């Protein structure tokens, strides 16, 4: 600050000195200029007393006598004036001679520009330094809002009982840190919650703070990643400084992989902004005292991309998986999200929990919310079973298209046999799966139809179950080929082929279930490179060819069932599990409208088999 003031004072003094000197010089020069008449000028020129004149377009003419005296006279501005002066031996220079005042002004202008440039650069440098500080200050004042009461307890978090048990000792530590300090125990300084999106990682972190009754700080990993080097590290330090001032608290960092990715994967070297921010986080976590009472909880969907220095003991040394809820967890989550909703007596929440396999907590909340919206749109006072069913299929496949008048008969038939193939093969190769709905009604998500296949809750997936999923996915395309011919297959199976390819690649590359590839993980061997993996492609192709032949033979043998399911779909557009079971068992599931008299409709190109 003193140096800045000194530079400003010195600049002002120099500017004043130059101005004073220039004014004095101009005053002295003005005294030596003599004003004469044009007749006197002509006489002096004829007498040889004029040395030079400066000829311009201004009304005045200035010049210099042979004795050095400067003069000013009137400018005649005629065409022969210059020639007459040259004849008299007077030197003529084109252009107005710069006045002393103009010279002074030019000097002052140049000097002023220099002073302004020095001042501007100094101010920009100070603003840049202050900007870094203001960025961190902004995080502290705006982002770092302390929530003293998170308002969430364990009763608000359903499912994930194992995860709750894993953090109960942390809650006790936050309540009674001295008890653990006396025993010489060191509690985890950091906990990482990892798992699929929407499984309740943020909610569980709030519940930890709420159960312990301590303040709760919430951030996103992207809040600390900035383009200016040093800003992110400053933000980290400010956050932990404020946390120490609060004493016992929970610091929650969501999407920590935004700043905590493995550093060897960074291409810009070890001195970039993200690396500095990560180093600051590591340093702050290592600096905690054993009884300080600060717990850092992080959440990520990708535990495998985090830097190992974050996961070592003493930092985030406890990793807790927050997975998709099982049937009991789904039932409890649905009950929580139904608390403030008026449900009809015919709604069975336990049955809905069975139906929502692979749903996350966020999807279950969305399911109940959509059902409430449908009921409100109808003007009903209660949420009925039809609202739940409509919401369920809207969540998994999109809303039904209302206008289907332009859909052709042939497209409807293709979709009917495609979806009938999925449903029939599901019942033949995976009878433990429930097929709750088969429809040829197109949806707003681009599906021409879909069949919902619900597997039972499992902890693991066997090779046979993975093979069954591949066969179910291929069944729609094979049904099209059997009925309409190989040359008439459509693009409707694109999504099915994608799913089948993903499963067979995982079977061979990750789980070591290939016949010739052995018990190896090829992603680790080749680091996800496609080089030297021709034999893997051949193994996957052999599997797919094998399954394709098996399902082709199976559908040909049961073509009469395929026809019955397809004809029922053409008449009814949708069938449920009870109707499908009736068709397969030989009981009649009569169409209410003859298939040939149904309104022609179109299915679109995409068909989804929810296997």
Task: With H, G, I as helix, E, B as strand and everything else as coil, classify residue 448.
Answer: strand
**How many Å apart are CA 246 and CA 181, to the nearest integer?**
19
Identify the DSSP state of 110: H
Task: Copy the structure tokens of residue 319.
Answer: 């990793």
Is residue 380 within 8 Å of residue 342, measured between CB atoms?
no
Helices (H), 247-326: 273-286, 308-311
Compute CA distances 467 → 85, 133, 429, 470, whole Å: 111, 58, 9, 5
419 is catalytic: yes
**How many Å apart are CA 466 and CA 425, to the nearest integer?**
14
Cβ contacts of 40 within 8 Å, gap of 6 or more: 73
Put the strands of the sheet holding 434-439 in their side by side order: 574-576, 434-439, 447-454, 606-610
**How many Å apart are CA 506 and CA 14, to the nearest integer?**
78
**How many Å apart are CA 426 and CA 429, to the nearest integer?**
6
Task: With H, G, I as helix, E, B as strand and everything else as coil, classify residue 85.
Answer: helix
Q: How much is the CA Rg of the chain, to the nearest whole Å? A: 42
**How many Å apart are CA 116 and CA 122, to the nearest integer?**
10
Among candidate residues 255, 370, 419, 481, the one labeled active-site is 419
For 207, half-sphere exposure in the C-beta direction (CA atoms, 13 angstrom radius) is 19
Just list the catalytic residues. 419
């Amino acid at each position: 600050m003193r140096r800045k003031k000194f530079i400003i004072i010195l600049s002002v003094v120099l500017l004043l000195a130059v101005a004073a000197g220039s004014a004095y010089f101009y005053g002295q020069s003005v005294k030596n200029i003599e004003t004469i008449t044009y007749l006197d000028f002509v006489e002096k020129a004829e007498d040889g007393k004029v040395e030079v004149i400066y000829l311009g377009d201004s009304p005045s003419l200035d010049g210099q006598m042979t004795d050095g005296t400067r003069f000013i006279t009137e400018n005649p501005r005629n065409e022969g004036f210059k020639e007459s002066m040259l004849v008299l031996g007077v030197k003529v220079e084109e252009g107005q001679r710069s006045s002393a005042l103009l010279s002074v002004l030019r000097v002052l202008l140049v000097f002023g520009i220099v002073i302004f440039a020095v001042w501007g650069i100094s101010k920009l440098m100070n603003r840049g330094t202050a900007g870094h500080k203001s960025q961190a200050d902004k995080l502290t004042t705006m982002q770092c809002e302390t929530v003293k009461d998170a308002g969430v307890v364990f009763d608000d978090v359903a499912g994930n009982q194992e995860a709750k048990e894993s953090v109960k000792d942390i809650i006790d530590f936050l309540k009674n840190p001295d008890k653990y300090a006396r025993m010489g125990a060191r509690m985890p300084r950091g906990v990482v919650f990892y798992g699929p999106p929407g499984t309740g990682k943020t909610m569980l972190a709030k519940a930890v703070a709420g159960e312990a009754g301590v303040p709760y700080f919430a951030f996103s990993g992207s809040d600390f990643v900035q383009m200016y080097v040093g800003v992110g590290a400053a933000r980290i330090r400010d956050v932990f400084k404020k946390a120490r001032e609060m004493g016992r608290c929970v610091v929650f960092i969501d999407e920590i992989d935004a700043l905590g990715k493995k550093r060897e994967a960074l291409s810009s070297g070890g001195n970039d902004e993200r690396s500095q921010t990560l180093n600051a986080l590591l340093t702050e976590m290592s600096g905690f005292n054993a009884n300080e009472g600060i717990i850092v909880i992080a959440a990520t969907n990708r535990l495998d991309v985090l830097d190992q220095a974050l996961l070592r003991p003493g930092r985030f040394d406890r990793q807790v998986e927050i997975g998709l809820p099982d049937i009991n967890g789904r039932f409890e989550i649905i009950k929580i999200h139904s608390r403030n909703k008026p449900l009809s007596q015919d709604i069975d929440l336990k049955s809905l929990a069975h139906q929502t396999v692979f749903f996350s907590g966020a999807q279950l909340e969305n399911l109940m919310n959509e059902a409430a919206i449908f009921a409100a749109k109808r003007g009903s006072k209660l949420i009925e079973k039809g609202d739940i069913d409509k919401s369920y299929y809207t969540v998994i496949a999109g809303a039904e298209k209302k206008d289907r008048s332009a859909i052709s008969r042939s497209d409807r038939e293709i979709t009917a046999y495609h979806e009938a193939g999925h449903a029939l093969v599901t019942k033949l190769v995976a009878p433990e799966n429930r097929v709750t709905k088969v429809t040829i009604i197109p949806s707003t998500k681009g599906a021409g139809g879909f069949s919902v296949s619900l597997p039972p809750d499992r902890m693991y997936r066997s090779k046979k179950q993975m093979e069954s999923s591949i066969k179910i996915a291929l069944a729609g395309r094979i049904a099209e080929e059997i009925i309409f011919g190989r040359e008439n297959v459509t693009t409707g199976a694109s999504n099915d082929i994608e799913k089948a390819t993903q499963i067979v690649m995982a079977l061979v590359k990750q789980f070591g279930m290939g016949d010739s590839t052995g018990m190896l993980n090829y992603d680790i061997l080749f680091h996800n490179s496609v080089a030297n993996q021709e034999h893997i492609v051949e193994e996957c192709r052999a599997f797919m060819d094998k399954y394709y032949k098996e399902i082709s033979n199976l559908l040909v043998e049961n073509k009469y069932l395929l026809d019955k399911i397809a004809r029922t779909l053409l008449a009814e557009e949708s069938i449920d599990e009870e109707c499908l079971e009736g068709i397969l068992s030989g009981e009649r599931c009569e169409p209410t409208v003859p298939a040939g008299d149904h309104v022609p409709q179109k299915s679109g190109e995409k068909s989804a088999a929810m296997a």
